[in-house]
A and B are shown apart, each in its own frame.
Chain A
Amino acid sequence: MKRKVYNEVIYDEQTPLLNVPELVDNKTSNTVCFKSKAKDMEPINLPTERVPDWQNKAVELFGEMLDKYKGLRLFMDSCVRCGSCSDKCHYFLGTGDPKNMPVSRQELMRSVYRKYFTMQGKIFKNSKDCVAFDDNILKDWFTYFYQCSECRRCCVFCPQGIDTAEVTMAAREIMARLGVGTKYVTEVVHKVYTTGNNLGIWAPAWIDNCKFLEEELIEETGLKIPLPVDVNGAEVLLVPPSADNFVNTNTMLGYAKMFYAAGVSWTTSTFCNEGGNFGMFLNYHNYKTINNRILKAARDLNVKYILWGECGHAWRAGYMTRTLSGSMDFLTVKYPKHVCQFTNEMIKKGAFKLDKTANDHLKVTYHDPCNVARATTGMLEPPRDIIRATCNNFKEMHPDTTREKTFCCGGGGGMLADELMSMRMAGSKPRCMAVKATGANYLATPCAICKANFGESLKFWDTGAVVGGVHDLLSNALILNH
């Protein structure tokens, strides 16, 4: 394998090479999200316009964040600019804008930190390393902190364990509380409060969709496989990403068949039919409030336990549930559990009859969504085990691009907005090149945002693969009893 020190070549000779790009200053400085609207900011408890005296308020909020998060406090001090992360961000690899190197992204925040919170800023008032919080830096913050998908890949390579996602989250919280948000994220959070999910599907439409999917299943299998909604006293509350009900319906059918075959009663809730937590991309208050809805839905429906669906950000937020939303002791599974873990346990128990040849037309490869694989508990094996149990043709991508070193799809972290399309395609490049190298025609991934972004980018980069869920494969392979 070819490897150079400052020009990391990620793939072997036979496969397309992805070199570290040349630095092009300000290449993506114009790819900016639309600003939030007052109608979205007001209902989610944020200032509708920039607060008065915002420069000082920002510094005050910065201080508050430093006191609240050990991560931020440490990461502001401990970077030595070793450059280990500089070629690790998919947005940098895709665009070549130096401010997309994780270290420079952090530096946007750190330069403000130095100005107001260190001796250096007090002694060297005019140093260019210490930047006063003004319009220019706010513009950079708004641009580049919304060009970070909080995927944490850089953290894996940092000798100090500096997590850019923490820095990004803090910066976004400060901006949000100054009244500066993006239209996409605030709109989605607002929709969660009104309809219960990110896509804005009202309860009747959700029920209707489930009925429609039931009919699909009858046509396909001849069996009455339920997709229950708001069933009081069911065993499982499934919190899927709402996109599974609406766009990636094969995954939803996969859950339904899986629960049917396992003989487990389950339900979705119209109050909370969304796991994906966009509050995480905005501020702690909304992060928590959205997550609280899951436990409320579980209490209201008297379920035994909660399973989180195939969604990356849902899982990251869900993983924090006991800190964010309080005890889960009223449930039988007292900690967050992912549907892939559940399915995998069932497969291990031998609950399913599986016909692997049903997936023989697929050459499958698996994409670790950043938040499932890396941002939380590191769920690396369960989805792979499911794929191995249901497919004959499974090929891993290059080891530098899987497991904890996985690349982001390019659309995570509140970046799935249409105005960021060029960023999304550029950020997706490293992953798509790795997919192309395997020659796979099916990219399995348990994350709704990955599915949405790959839907576009796999075509854009000519990979010849389509994207789908992990439970889609199970759905194909499952033999149901009549």
Chain B
Amino acid sequence: MNLYAIILSFAAYIAVIIFITGFIGRLVTYFRTPAPLRIPLTPAPKTYFGALMRLFGNAIFFYPLLRKSKFLWLYGYVFHVSFFLVIMRHLRYFLYPVPEWVMSFQSLGVYAGYSLALSILFLFARRMFSDRDVYISLTEDYFALFLLLIIAGTGLLMHYYYRPYLVDIKSFSLGLTTFDWSAPSTDLLFIIHLLSVMLLVIYFPFGKLLHSGAIWFSPTIGKPDDISVRKYKNPWDKV
């Protein structure tokens, strides 16, 4: 164990703590904010179950986006699915022995790495060349994409060209979970990859990435239209 291992491990812990407390804090705020006036979106389901199904449909298949443009839907969807697969693939660095189901994601995860990078490039290009998208894009949007591009790029480079010493990396990541800290490889690509991931994780609860949590509370998509059967009281203005 050396100073390098301790600094990186602590940085990782701080990032994860900020992520968890920040994200859960936001979710709690969302949950506790009242929604006095019902605004379900037409055509609204009549029951809570129906609303839940619609919410899942929306959150998993993004179908309002499909109405807008199949192209945008495609790379938006590819991006999210690839991101999920890549995360699944990375579980093998944190689990020992590696379970069967994580192993089954390994080759898929590599392809997903490609599609992830490709879809980020598309999403980037969209914000560079379509004048309406240029107008609405903020620094934050470019920053998030840029960060993801670095993460995906360094990840792919490490897989194909400059492979760092994996045993060190795994003992570092496993060490994080067992509080037995060890130094990871000092490979520059790996350090960039790791630091960008930490930055992303820290940034997550403070920016647009909150959309992943916010959608579950949506008063438009996730609420049924049952005003004729159920009475809703306004908690801050009782009548």
Contacts and interface: CB of A to CB of B under 8 A. Distances in A.
A288 interface: yes
Give the interface SS of chain A, mostly helix, strand, loop or mixed: loop
Interface stretch (A73-81, A191-199, A223-231): A73-81
B35 interface: yes
B215 A160 contact: yes
B39 A74 contact: no
A339 interface: no
Nearest to B220: A161
B3 interface: no
B135 interface: yes
Given A159-B62, A378-B225, A322 B132 contact: no
A409 B81 CA distance: 40
Interface residues of A, number: 68
A70 B36 CA distance: 8
Contact of A71 (B35, B136, B234, B236): B35
A209 B136 CA distance: 51
A323 B215 CA distance: 24
B220 A323 contact: no
Interface string A368-398: 0000011111101000000000000000000
Contacts of B218: 74, 78, 160-161
Interface string B135-177: 1111111000000000000000000000000000000000000
Nearest to B231: A322
Interface in B76-100: 76
Contacts of A71: 35, 39, 219-220
A86 B127 CA distance: 13
Contacts of B132: 6, 20, 23, 83, 86-87, 98, 101
Interface stretch (A31-39, A40-48, A324-332, A412-420): A324-332
A347 interface: no
B203 to A, nearest CB: 9
Interface string A89-124: 000000000100101100100000000001110000
Given A73-B29, A80-B211, A84-B69, 8 more contacts: A68-B36, A77-B214, A81-B133, A81-B208, A107-B138, A159-B65, A322-B231, A323-B38
Interface of A: 5-6, 8, 20, 23, 66-71, 73-74, 77-84, 86-88, 98, 101, 103-104, 107, 118-120, 127-129, 152, 155-163, 165-166, 284, 288, 319-320, 322-327, 335-336, 373-378, 380, 403-404
List the 9 closest A-B pairs by CB distance, nearest first: A378-B42, A78-B214, A70-B35, A161-B220, A161-B221, A335-B228, A326-B239, A84-B68, A78-B211
